[in-house]
Structure 1
Amino acid sequence: MEKISLDKEIILNATEEVIRRFGPEKANISDVAKSLKVSHAALYRYYNGKTDLWKAVTERWLSNLHASSKNILSEDNPADIKLFRLLEEFAEAKRRSSINDPEMFANYLKLAQSSMDVIEKSIEDGINCIKEIIEQGIKEGIFFEEFPHQAAIAVYHATSAFIHPNSFKAHNRKQNIESVINLLIRGLKNPNK
């Protein structure tokens, strides 16, 4: 018998708490039900099992992780400054999370190995943010690019090495990030400006 009124947000909050408490390897849907004081079956009214619930948690976590990136898009800055800030934020967001929220970061890595659809959506969102800034730069006359979407894909892939956990403790990480970003921005710039 349900003791509290459930909705997806309450379930996602509880699931994050359970993952943080037990870790992604040991946490399970029964732990979530127990923390909410509901039956295991009550959760199945909202999610089709652990995989569906863990995907939803990871998707929300990624969205929250990249919220500051979305804020950069609305800044009143020229496109080259925005792009630098955005790419730097992309590189640092996951590294910060691996330090500040290691269980949720581990959950993200686990999901990345088994289910690519949430990860692919996050990549697509990142590419679209870059494309928006490149298009702004074209309008401003800062960037010269005939195919902004393809350029955004290239820029994303060129910087994606910095979102991989193996890069987080690399010597000269910040300098390397800045060098790659500056190189990419120079490549996008209008040669007449």
Structure 2
Amino acid sequence: MDKISLDKEIILNATEEVIRRFGPDKANITDVAKLLKVSHAAIYRYYNGKAALFNAVTDRWLAQLHAPSNDILKEDSPADAKLSKLLESFVEAKHRSAINDPEMFANYIKLAQSSMEVIEKSKEEGIKRIEEIIVQGITEGIFFSESPYKEARSVYLATSVFIHPNSFEDSDRKQNIESVINLLIRGLKNSNR
């Protein structure tokens, strides 16, 4: 076998290619090793099995998927507008991925059903982003909350229904997303709760 300089990034790129080629159910470490022209033992030096490798791929994929939300957080705009944009970004990112990158989305769904570690990390990061905007809104006098983290978690849970594939075919999906986001923002603005 040809000598190749391996690192985690090279292995993750190859794993994504294998998942896209064979799907998450059929892809395996041997396929990744063949693509890289190394032994499967070489892969095990970096990842302790298929689950660890697929977790790492999904973790990286989720980070890339939600990268635009980092830009939204940096915007110089009022918290209510920023929160609306962030929530729309969250729900549309998964929808776009299901259409444009179905194999990686299938890998995400499979992982969500079998291993919650990566999914919980991504969920917590989403909640923290929402919390950051709620805190900004409190500072601006737009939002009223005694517990920004609890409010952020509730907002995340209320919109998470729209990242489920069952919602993707709903002809009223965009209207429903807008209605829920508007309702949540009005609730955060209500000082008489």
Same fold by TM-score greater than 0.5: yes
In 1, Cα distance between equivalents of 2:140 and 2:190: 10
Counting only pairs closer than 5 Å after superposition, residues 12-51 of structure 1 correspond to structure 2 as 12-51=12-51
In 1: Cα distance, 2:54 partner to 2:38 partner: 18
How many Å separate the matches in 1 of 2:26 and 2:44? 20
Post-superposition offset of 1:71: 1.3
1:37-186 → structure 2 map (5 Å cutoff): 37-186=37-186
Q: Runs of 5+ in structure 2 lacking a partner?
A: none
The Cα of 1:69 is off from its aligned counterpart by 1.3
CA contact (8 A) 1:134 1:152 kept: yes
Q: CA deviation at 1:103?
A: 0.2
Quick check: 1:188 aligned with 2:188? yes
Partner of 2:11: 11
Deviation for aligned residue 1:190: 5.0
Equivalent pairs, count: 192
* Alignment check: 8 A CA contact 1:141 1:190 kept: no
* TM norm structure 1: 0.97
Question: TM-score scaled to structure 2, two decimals?
Answer: 0.97
Q: Distance in 1 between matches of 2:86 and 2:104?
A: 22
1:134 is matched by which residue type in structure 2?
Answer: I
Letter in 2 for 1:102: P
CA-CA distance at 1:110 after TM superposition: 0.6
SS where residue 41 of structure 2 aligns?
helix
Q: Which amino acid aligns with 1:6?
A: L
Residue deviations 1:11-55 (CA, integer Å, cap 9, x gap)? 000000010011111111000000001111001110001110000
Following superposition, the deviation at residue 106 of structure 1 comes to: 0.3
In the TM superposition, structure 1's runs of 4+ consecutive aligned residues that sit over 3 Å from their partners are none
Give the distance between the partners of 2:22 and 2:112, measured in 1 at CA.
19
Identity %: 76
* Alpha-carbon shift at residue 114 of structure 1 (Å): 0.5
Distance 2:142 2:45 in 1: 51
Contact in 2 for aligned 1:58/1:107 (Cα 8 Å): yes
Unaligned residue ranges in structure 1 (runs of 5+):
none
* In structure 2, C-alpha distance between the alignment counterparts of 1:190 and 1:157, rounded to whole Å: 19
| RMSD (CA atoms) | 1.1
